[in-house]
Amino acid sequence: MTEPRHDPSDLSPLRARLARVGALDAAALAAERIAVLGRKGGELTALLRTLPSLEADARRAFGAAVNELKQAFEAAFDARAAALDAARRAREAAGIDLTMPGRGRWIGAEHPVTRVIAEIVELFRELGFVVATGPEAETEWYNFGALNFPADHPAMDMHDTLYLDVPEVPGDRGGRVLLRTHTSPVQIRTLLESGPPVRVVIPGLAYRNDPFDASHAPAFTQIEGLAVDEGISFVDLKATLGHFARRFFAADTRVRFRPSFFPFTEPSAEMDVGCQICGGRGCAACKGTGWMEILGCGMVHPNVLSNCGVDAERFTGFAFGMGPHRIAMLRYGIPDIRLLYEGDMRFLGQLGGGR
């Protein structure tokens, strides 16, 4: 058994405990009061019981120190109990119930599509492309005419394009005002403003009069690219886009180009990559083919270059356009594009890193 302390200087451990009373919660406070002042096992109570066995001088000095410490403990316990009670009453008045289960707080993170856009843009920056932007409300000339769309092209009908109820813009670059259906008008503006050589990547919103379903949305993000210079060929296009696919997905990603048609490119192609969901074996997402289309591309049509005042005999170029939402679906194995628009925090927490 430990010998009782009879020297006032030996009370320093108790004084240290006294200093911590103000940080105790209700349960710890009750336990500490018993441990220090309890009649049967209290540490100060045990010290007071040793006083009769001491000599007069020692009893006087030690007793005064113990009594002073006892009074300090009693005052500290009472003050802390009063503070805890006041805090409890304040919580009750505010309707706060600490017995209720805690609620997890959402910590935001980058949206997966935002991450995909940033990564794609950075990959093309490494290849010498710079970012270009432009207005989302455009005239028919910038959105269709300069891009070699014929006047009767079905894309110009109201069932495909969202026209704005504003006066038409006069002049040879005017026409009805609409929400751009692609980011291609920025290609036109870039060529008009600076001329070749040009290497730009263009992220931005586009709008179409489409239903909101598993693979379509009326407002969506596009990323387009344009390279115009002397001597550019289809080989450069294939090398650039093949490099992008293998950097973005995996080094062994399979790539193929299929003939297609766009008014603003000739020749035109669709680029597919091996399905990232099933590994090319065939699944519902790739319709059993093992391939997924990710972008359209082609050599810039000479009429488009001429419409921008560029000598089509001297300069050539390629252009491409892709949807980062579809690419995000491929990367993360998402079956329905609507999941990327709905803002469900449980879904975004799995992909975006938030919690």
**What number is the average pLDDT over the span 54-71?**
83
Domain C-terminal end among 68, 94, 120 = 94
**What number is the average pLDDT over the span 302-330?**
93
Q: Are residues 77 and 150 in the same domain?
A: no
The answer as to whether 101 is a domain residue is no
For the ranges 158-172, 201-215, 263-277, the lowest mean pLDDT is seen at: 201-215
**What number is the average pLDDT over the span 13-25?**
86
The answer as to whether 103 is a domain residue is no
Q: Are residues 290 and 347 in the same domain?
A: yes
The 3-state secondary structure of 169-238, one letter per residue: ECCCCCECEEECCCCCHHHHHHHHHCCCCEEEEEEEEEECCCCCCCCCCCEEEEEEEEEEECCCCHHHHH
Domain interval for residue 36: 8-94
User: Residue 1 pLDDT more than 50?
Assistant: no
Q: Are residues 271 and 188 in the same domain?
A: yes
Top-confidence residue, 164 or 95: 164
**What number is the average pLDDT over the span 100-119?**
80
Stated pTM of the model: 0.66
pLDDT tens readout for residues 245-293: 999 988 988 999 999 999 999 999 999 988 877 777 887 767 788 888 8
